[in-house]
Each structure stands twice: as C-alpha cells, then as structure tokens.
Structure 1
Amino acid sequence: MLPRCFSTRRAPGMRIENDTTGRHKLRHGAISKNWESCLEGTKRYKIEFTGRDCSNCDPETWTCLHAIMTIEHRTGVGEMNRLLTWTLALLTALAAATGARAAELLTLEQAIQSAYANSPQLKSMAARERGAAAQVDEARSGFRPQFSLSETMTRTDNPVYAFMTSLNQRSFTPAMMASINDPGSATNYNSRFTLQQAVYTGGKARAALDAASRGRAAASLQTVRARQQVRFQVISSYYGIILAQKRIEVTSKALETAREHVRVTEDMFKTGMVVESDKLSAQVRLAEIEEMQLSAVNDLALARSALLMAMGADQNRDFSVDPDAFDGNTYEINLEQQIAAALENRPDLKAVSEGIAAREKMVAVERADRRPMAFVQGSLDWDGEDIFGSDGDSYFVAVGVKWDVYNGGRARAREAAARSAAEELRWQREHMKQGIELEVRQAFFELETAARKLEVADQAVEQAEESFRIVNNRYNNGLAINVQVLAAEAARTQAHMRRLHALYEYSVGLEKLRLAAGRQ
C-alpha cells in the first residue's frame, strides 16, 4: 500500500493520469510531472515513473507497473521491511505483468533467427562483404577494355595549331599558304572516342584480382564468425532471463517461508516462548530475502534488455521465454578434439589465412611494376567549326610497350613492404592459434567445473530441503532455537540459488565451448 503521506495527499486532487503518449504522469492541480515525493516522519518517499508504456496500468487505483519508490532515510527493521515490500510489489508486478501481456512466446531459435535478420553488427558485416565484392569487380576491370568519349573546343591564332585545325577540318586550300605565318583565329570542336586495352601487365591484373577475391573470402568468413558471436550473445541473454525468473521463483518461495516464520515468531513472542531478538532476527532475514528478490527482478529487466539489443529489437517489445530452454544434458567432451576442431573450423582464423594469401598476391602486384607492360590503343576523331561537327574525321591506332627500367628503387621498396605485411600477418596467425587454444582450454575447464558444481548442487538441494523441514518442525515444537531455523532456511535458499547458477553456467558453458571451437 502507499505511504500515509501519499494517501492523505490524494484527497485534494493528486492523481495519476496518462499523457498523450500513454505514459503516466502525476497531476496535482495544474502541475503535471513524472515524480512526486513526500515526508513521513524522518523518511522522504519518492515515487518516479520510468516512462514506459502504461497502457495496461490502472490510474484510478494508483497501480502503475513502471513506478519505483525510493527512500532517502529509514530507521528500524520494520520500516525497512515495509519499504522493500512496497518496492518489490511494484517491480514484481512489472515482471508478472510483462509475462501476462506477452504478445508472443519467443523461443530460443526464434530469438537467434531474429538476431540474424536484425542485428546491427551483422548488417555492418554484410555491408563490409558488399564492399569486398565491389573491390573484386574493380580488380576485374584490369582485364577489360577502357572506353572514353570527349568533346573539346579550341580557339587559337598560333600558326602551327591554326594550320593543323584547317587540316583536321579538311578545309585547307593552297591560298592559305600566303598567310601561313599570320593565319588569324581558328576555332575547332573535336569529338573523340578512345579505346585502350591492356595486352600484358606482367601479372599485375591477375594478382590484383586474386588479392581482391581473397579479401572477399576473408570478409565472408568474418561474417560467419560474427554470426556465431551474435548467436552466443542471444543464447547467453536468453538463459539470463530464465535464470532471473527462476531466482524470482526461489526468492518468492523463500519469502513465503520467511513471512510465515515471522508470524510464528511474533505469536511465540506474544506468549513469551521466545525473546524479542528472535522476532527481530526473523524480520531481518525477511528483509534480506526481499532484497534478494529485488536484485533478481532488476537482473530480469537487464537480461531482457540485453536480449532485445542482441536481437536488434525494440526495447519495449513484450515477450515471454521458454523456461525449459536450459541445456542440462551432460556430454562426453574431449579437450584435444575440441582444440583440433577449433584450429580447423574457426572462421576468424580462416579469415586471417585468406588475408595472408591476399597480401602475398599484393607482393606479386608490386613486383609486376618492374616488368614491361604492353597495350593497344585506338581513337576516332571528328573535327568541325561547330559543336559536334564532323567537317573532318580521322582515326588513330597504336600498339605500345612500357617498361619502367629504373624508378629510383620505388618498385623494389614497395614489393619489400608488401612482403613484410604478409609476414606480419603470418605471425599474427600463429599468435591467434595460441589464443584460440587457450580459449578452448578455458571454456573446457569452466564447463567441467560447472558440471561438477551442478552435480553437487543437486545433492545439496535435497539435503537442504530435508534439513529445513526437520529444523522447522523442531522449532515449532519448541525443540530448536530461532537461529537454527534461520540458518536452515538460508542454507536451503542458497542451495537452490547455487543450483540455478550452476545450471546457468553449465548451459552457457556449453555454448561458450562451441563458440571457442568455431561451431554453431
């Protein structure tokens, strides 16, 4: 229920209302805002609306699923309990309402496929692939003929150029010889079509195409690795939601037990069967469990946000998850086989190998600049006094060989730099192999540890449940002291929590090992 100071202020007209976007605001007279505070004794309470969609909340009863109350000062165990209970009521209502109004059951596979389609990271990688494919097309142009069109206007009184203009326009007459040294101004419009084809490039065109193709292959492999990483992020976040939900279930059960223990202890205190410290200890334990549930609820909200981000989805999307999606099966896994599989299958390692091949091809590209190059070239010209005129036409055909015999050592230096770049990447690959092996070993040992923890946790849960049952019965019959009940209840709750975390670590550990081994 609301603190008394809020309840008394509702009468003058304070109310919750929806704004134009369907979100809640507090209105008091003419003032509208998204928070309000009040004093009650030594405590200042503050209610703040988080700004989420409140279309399913009830303003008339002050039931907002997205409100959080905080307190600046608090004294006494009982007051702490009331504060935590009120805050938890809001947050657990949000968690429950989210599940209740879920528009869909989002399976793990659906979440993965949604991430594949919408992840900004994968869209970025797709753009990189398109860029690499465009570079391949650019490299292919080295084998294709080059065409060009031009239109040039000239006006000159230079005797040589004026004479050539009259020749090109087929307008020369013998009478022009009399003024050949002072021909006056001549205007010419030249339309030209040019074709050029490389015949031999010293292997440069082929090497450039091979390098670009290797680059495209590397980009594709990097995309595959990014898909594996996105898949792991989705699975890890999905499992995180399940873990948080199950933690809420455990703490809810513990809360029921703790509240019942508080009730029993208070009744026994009234009859003089226990001292006041027993009652206060029970209340403190209740507050501890409420804090545990508050943490679990916050973790649930964070895990949901992490999953939606990994999927590239709207953060306000409602969904529920499959609570049985944990992979609790045990597998026989051989470490050496996993390492061998990683070194063979890891797409990012293959991408580095493609990068090495590309750089080796760039060595050939630079080497080709020291070899002769042959080409053919031809052009058609139309010259006239008017634009696009054709008073005269001509053609030109040439076959040429070009060889930079010495360019100051530039070609050799560039070839050496390309060779060093390839060697650098080869050593990076060796370092990467070592890192991959360590990554696989770490994932393997973490998985083994999680498997052992899960086995131990299963036994611990059974033992803790039985221990609590015995101690609680003894306490109700006056044969055990309060601290024994609290210890047994805490051990039971911790046993369930450890089992949940062990199951989560094992399920995530399996996926982490698959990711390290380059498997999907």
Structure 2
Amino acid sequence: MKKTLLAMVLALPLFAVQEHLTLEQALTLVKQNNLEIKVAQDDVRMKELDIDVAKGYNYGSLDLVINALRSNDAGNVFGFKLQSREATFRDFGFSEFLGGVGWALQNAGGDFVNFTNIMSDPAMQDQLLNTAPTDLNYPEARNHFQEKIQYQVPLYVGGKLNKYGQIAQKMAEMSRLDKQKVVNEKVFQTRKTFYDIALVNSYIKNLKIILNNVEELEDTVTNMVKEGYALDIDLLQVKSKKADVLRMLNQAKLNRDLAYQFLSFLVDDKVESVAIADKDVPMPIMSKEEMLNRNIDIQKAKMGLKITDLALGVERASFYPQIGAFAEYGSADDQFMNDFSDKDAYTVGVQLKWNIFNGLIDKSKYEKARVQNLKVRHQVELAKKGIALKIDKIITEIKSKEYDIKSLQEKVKLARRVYENYYNRYKEGLISINDVLIKNSEEIQAVLKLAETRNARNDKVFELENIINKGML
C-alpha cells in the first residue's frame, strides 16, 4: 500500500496542468523549461570552457613519459647503455683492440723501442684501426625502460596567448548574446500567444453576441412565419446566416485550442487556461538611442569588432620572436624503475625562434586581418542605420494601426446599433429580411476587421520589443 501511494505521489507532476496561468508565470516557465533555451545555455557553457583552455596554454604542459623498448640495433643498444650510464670500453670494441696491442707487446720481446716501432708501422696501424669490433657492431638485444617528466612553457610569444584568452572571453560573451536572442524569441512567442488568446476570446465574445442576435432574429422570423407575416425563405436566410456565424465561432475556438497547444509546447507543460485581460500590448517607453544600444544584433556587431581588433594583435605577434623554456628529469635502465636515483639525469633549456622570412605570408595574414577589421567596422555602422530605420518604420506602423483601431471600435458600436435598429424595423414590417442580414454581415465584418487590426498592431509591438531586447527588461 505504501509503495502504491509513493508511486502516485511521484506521478503527480507528470499529470499536472497549468490553469489560469498568468503571463509572468508563463515567462518564468519558459526560461526554466524551454529546450531551445537549454541548448543555448549549453553553448554558453562550452564557450566558457574555451576560456579555461585559452588560459591553460599560459602555464605550459607537464608530461610523464615512459618508454619501454627492446632492440638489437647497434646504435640503439649503445644509446640505451649511455642513457643508463652503463657504457664500458668493451662496448666500444676495446677487447679486440687490446688483442692487437697484446700481440705487439709479445712480438716486441719486452723491448719498449721494438714495441714503439711495431705500433708505428703503418700496416699495423691500418690493421688495428680497420678492425670492425663485434661487441660494438653486433651487440646482444637489450631492454630499455625510460621514465621521465617533461615540462614546457612559453615565455614570450608576442602577446598571442593573451589575445587568444581575450578572444575566448569575447566569444563567450557573444554566445551569451545568442542565448539572450533565443530567450527574447521565446518571450516574444509566449507574450504573443497570450495576447492572441485574449484577442480570440474577445472575438469569440463578440461572435456570441452576434449569434445571440441571429438566434433572436430566428425566433422572431419563425413566429412571423407562423402568423403569416413572413415567408419561409426569410427563415432559411436567417438559418444560413446563423450557420455562417457558428462556423466562424467554431473556427475561432479551434484557433484558440491551437494557441493553447503552442503555449504548452513553449512552457513544456500542459496549459488549460490563462489569466490575461483583454487589452492591447503597451508600447515600450524609451529613447531611440536606448533602443539601439539594447539591440542584440548591434551588440553582436560591436563584439565582433572587438574580436577582429584582437585577431589583428594575434597576427601582429608573428613579427616578434617566440621564446620558450624546457625542463626534463628522468632515469633509464634495462629494468623498470631500477636504480632510479643512481642513473637519473636532467636537461633544461631555453629556445628563441624568430622567423626571418616566409614568403611574406605573415604580412599578408596581417593585412587580411586589418581589412577584416575594417569590414566589421563598416558592418557595425550599417547595422545601426538599418535597425534605426526598421525601428522608425515599426513605430509608424503601430501608430497607424492605433488610429485604425479607434476608428474600427466606433464602427463596431455603430454597426451593432444599426443592426438593432434594422431588426426592430423588420419586426414592424418596414423592411425586408435581406436588409437586416446585410447589416448583420456588416457588423460581423467590422468585428473581424477590428480583431485583425488589433492582432496586427500587437504583432508590430512584439516585433519592436524583440528588436530592443525586451527579454532583459
């Protein structure tokens, strides 16, 4: 029983739904749960790790190297013995050389003068010097174990490593801007979906009013047909109009359901209902200069310019000398880790490398980086002017839509009053049913046009918010 209750408690979040979700709650859920935002955050994390990589090059590298070898190659075996500090004169072939010297001593009969004459004989010297020592040329195979620690560190590379570190830092900042752009897009989609739902609800509300009016008209015409004051064709026309209104109402409800499905996708949770007032999106209040400074594309362009400045420094480093230090400590023997301290050795050194000529490649690379820097500088100015023009255009369109909305709101009120007037005149038998239905169609068109205009106006406000980086507000 306890296990069953525990399983039910754990499963509750899986079946949880969001009801009466506010816009603030939805935005919080989007930033926490949206998978595209999580992917963008992963990109930021990878770029931040690149900073650590760039910094790490300043500290050089420390390596443990272990070689386990076996060879009967004369050069290798002799080298192995030297590294192990075990080389003897026998390894040089002195055993055969001493045999020749012993023969000379024997033939000299103990007389030093005779020994000197024998050794001075060119033929004797050639024989001794041309002897190929077997010990040296045909050694036995030997094992060789070498354990050592190597450390290499750059001392001066013309500022290249410092520039790489700064570039990595700027690239991380660039990835944060990319992430913010994704956040802005999801905020934009979430806010737009919320206001779309509010507009659809308003549209549905108006359609229900129209439907009630048509149903009231249907009842009136039905009674008038029974009393002989109207024709059956009048009733059929009203029923046809009612079917059109019902079709529009059902289509609006389906669109609302689709909006809820998209909102559920954005917040990565099931959304059943939202809490939002039926009002238009407020215009952002800020100066034109602040709008431009907040724009992510302009910020990225400026960041790109800084990166090309640093890249110019990287290419300039090629004209300076490269200085590095090296240190090595280890030991070698024909057995692993044998007599380590007795056979240890060290090597330290400094290297300076300065390119004198490479076919002007470095000069060409530097010039290319300089032109790239100039290109990005022009792109920054172009981005500023282009986005400023786009902001002006959107603001103008928003103001135009706001004038249209005020006019259409009055038109809807008038159309509703006119319909009511025509409906009453029809009941009195003063006009035909066609006149009433025409006015009903005009009311529907006014309501539809108002909804479309409000939606278009909100879309432009959302577009402006996206441009000015509203996601950070």
- TM-score (structure 2 length as normaliser): 0.81
Distance 1:138 1:477, change over 3 A: same
Instruction: Work out which of the residue numbers 85, 91, 100 in structure 2 matches 1:176.
Output: 91
Instruction: Work out which of the residue numbers 345, 350, 364 in structure 1 matches 2:313.
Output: 364
Matched, 1:134 2:49: yes
Matched, 1:319 2:272: yes
Residues 237 and 307 of structure 1 are in contact (CA less than 8 Å); yes or no, is this contact kept in structure 2?
yes
Partner of 2:360: 409
**Hey, which of these two has a bigger chunk of helix by percent?**
2
- What is the number of equivalent residue pairs in this alignment? 413
Measured in 2, the distance between the counterparts of 1:181 and 1:505 equals: 93
Residues 202 and 371 of structure 1 are in contact (CA less than 8 Å); yes or no, is this contact kept in structure 2?
yes
Q: Deviation of residue 372 (structure 1)?
A: 0.8
Distance 1:431 1:124, change over 3 A: farther
Distance 1:487 1:388, change over 3 A: farther
Measured in 2, the distance between the counterparts of 1:206 and 1:103 equals: 51
Letter aligned with residue 298 of structure 1: L
Partner of 2:199: 243
Instruction: Kindly provide the CA deviation profile for residues 267-309 of structure 1, in whole angstroms up to 9, marking residues without a partner as x.
Output: 3233332234322221221121112112201211221122223
Instruction: Work out which of the residue numbers 226, 237, 240 in structure 1 matches 2:182.
Output: 226
Note the 1:232-381 alignment, pairs <5 A: 232-311=188-267, 313-314=268-269, 317-324=270-277, 326-327=279-280, 337-338=287-288, 340-381=289-330
Letter aligned with residue 406 of structure 1: F
Structure 1 residues 210-219 or 487-496, which shifts more? 487-496
- TM-score (structure 1 length as normaliser): 0.74
Residues 260 and 272 of structure 2 are in contact (CA less than 8 Å); yes or no, is this contact kept in structure 1?
no
Q: Deviation of residue 102 (structure 1)?
A: 6.6
Q: Deviation of residue 425 (structure 1)?
A: 2.8
Matched, 1:166 2:122: no
Instruction: Work out which of the residue numbers 428, 435, 438 in structure 1 matches 2:386.
Output: 435
Measured in 1, the distance between the counterparts of 2:165 and 2:257 equals: 50
Letter aligned with residue 118 of structure 1: N
Structure 1 residue runs of 5 or longer lacking an equivalent are 1-100
Note the 1:364-513 alignment, pairs <5 A: 364-389=313-338, 390=340, 392-513=343-464
- SS of equivalent to 2:87: coil
Q: Deviation of residue 234 (structure 1)?
A: 0.6
Measured in 2, the distance between the counterparts of 1:466 and 1:263 equals: 20
Structure 1 residues 267-276 or 373-382, which shifts more? 267-276
Measured in 2, the distance between the counterparts of 1:388 and 1:249 equals: 88
Structure 2 residue runs of 5 or longer lacking an equivalent are 1-15, 96-134
- SS of equivalent to 1:376: strand
- SS of equivalent to 2:331: strand
Measured in 2, the distance between the counterparts of 1:176 and 1:298 equals: 95
Distance 1:136 1:440, change over 3 A: same
Q: Deviation of residue 236 (structure 1)?
A: 0.5
Distance 1:333 1:193, change over 3 A: closer
Instruction: Kindly provide the CA deviation profile for residues 212-259 of structure 1, in whole angstroms up to 9, marking residues without a partner as x.
Output: 111111111222232222211110011111222222222222222212
Measured in 1, the distance between the counterparts of 2:251 and 2:374 equals: 51
Measured in 1, the distance between the counterparts of 2:333 and 2:279 equals: 82
- SS of equivalent to 1:180: helix
Q: Deviation of residue 407 (structure 1)?
A: 2.3
Letter aligned with residue 226 of structure 1: V
Task: Give the aligned CA root-mean-square deviation in angstroms.
Answer: 2.4
Measured in 2, the distance between the counterparts of 1:325 and 1:209 equals: 51
Larger RCO (CA under 8 A, 6+ residues apart): 2
Larger radius of gyration: 2
- SS of equivalent to 2:66: strand
- SS of equivalent to 2:356: coil
Letter aligned with residue 155 of structure 1: R
Structure 1 residues 186-195 or 454-463, which shifts more? 454-463
Residues 305 and 373 of structure 2 are in contact (CA less than 8 Å); yes or no, is this contact kept in structure 1?
yes
Letter aligned with residue 162 of structure 1: V
- SS of equivalent to 1:237: helix
Measured in 1, the distance between the counterparts of 2:182 and 2:74 equals: 69
Residues 26 and 190 of structure 2 are in contact (CA less than 8 Å); yes or no, is this contact kept in structure 1?
yes
Distance 1:436 1:326, change over 3 A: same
Measured in 2, the distance between the counterparts of 1:480 and 1:166 equals: 122
Partner of 2:108: none
Measured in 1, the distance between the counterparts of 2:284 and 2:193 equals: 25
Q: Deviation of residue 148 (structure 1)?
A: 0.7
